[in-house]
Amino acid sequence: MRFPPEIRHTCGNLLWLRRQAAFEQARSSGDEASLHERFLKLARLRFGRDLSNLGDESSPIEEFGRGIQTLPQIDVAEPRQVLRAGLAGAGRLLLLPGLHGAAAVFVGLTNEIASPMEIVGWEHLGLDDSYGRPKRIEDPAARILDRERDVGLQEDQPLVIFGFCIGGLLGHAILKRHGDRPGRLIILDGHPAESIRTISRTRRVLGTVKAVRDARLGGHVEHRLVRIGLDRLRAMGLHRTGSIKQDIVLYRSGTRLGFGPLDAAMWRDHARSVRQIDLPDLGHTDVFRNGLERRIVGFLEAG
């Protein structure tokens, strides 16, 4: 679905939240909340803003995407979302979205995973107006790991992380801070930090100028989302990937990627071991649609 360029990131986030609301409604039992009520609740958690006066269940996403730009933030924009509760002591599975993505993209994947671990989706940090935007990869990595420990993750429990695209690098940084404790990193189409330095400076600058120009036309929320993404790209360009004590499983779609070629050899110096699984018939985001999530659940289920 195409949206106007000046609000496309906002609308993309909202569209996934509406899909999450529909997914939750279809699987609810005894909860009479409507799809629209669920959508408004999810949007308020994600953005800290009340969208209830912007439209109704039949309103197009674009209407909410434009209206939210001028709404005041009234709650904390919560970056952590428990997608499924787990059994005590079973560990944690973190799902990290790609650039400009949202944790709502993982609701279908969550439904396919047969694991006793608590499943948590994390948004990119920096949307809340009360806080600054992280400037280094290590900053969100530290905040995420600290939060998980604060809410019960024990050092002897497995920490499994799935990172889509740039989320793979963030997951790597989290496990690096986690030390030699049990865990695993599963990456879909994600490069180590050094890859962005192979992209020409001219290409990066031109892309940044256009993104910022479009976002300023859209409004405050869109501009914030775009700046978060650009900050993450800059942080990736400065980051030194290092090595983790856990194994990496790299899923590689059949898509030509913006950061260039990608294979297991590029991650080999950054983990205990690397295994590559090719998905040549799938595009970059196809795995999050139409039940194709089951193609990648095997290594997510094992703690």
Mutual orientation of helices 8-26 and 35-47 as an angle, nearest 10°?
130
Q: How far apart are CA 168 and CA 176, in angstroms?
A: 12
Largest CA distance in the chain: 56
Nearest to 162 by CA among 245, 254, 95: 95
Domain span(s) for CATH 3.40.50.1820 in the chain: 77-303
Q: How far apart are CA 82 and CA 80, in angstroms?
A: 7
* 273-279 vs 247-253, strand pairing mode: parallel
Which residues, 6+ apart, have CB-to-CB distance to 137 below 8 Å?
169, 170, 173, 193, 232, 235, 236, 239
Kindly report, residue by residue over 22-76, the tens digit of the pLDDT.
999 988 776 778 999 999 999 999 999 999 999 999 999 999 999 999 999 999 9
Check the CA dihedral 141-144-148-149 and report its sign. positive
Q: How far apart are CA 83 and CA 85, in angstroms?
A: 7
Kindly report, residue by residue over 127-151, the tens digit of the pLDDT.
998 888 899 999 999 999 999 999 9
Q: How far apart are CA 302 and CA 210, in angstroms?
A: 42
Distance of CA 186 to the CA centre of its chain: 13
Query: Helix or strand or coil: residue 204?
Result: helix
Query: Helix or strand or coil: residue 242?
Result: coil
Tell me, what's the pLDDT at 132?
85
Kindly report, residue by residue over 152-195, the tens digit of the pLDDT.
999 999 999 999 999 999 999 999 999 999 999 999 999 999 87
CATH code assigned to 77-303: 3.40.50.1820
H or E element in which residue 55 lies: none
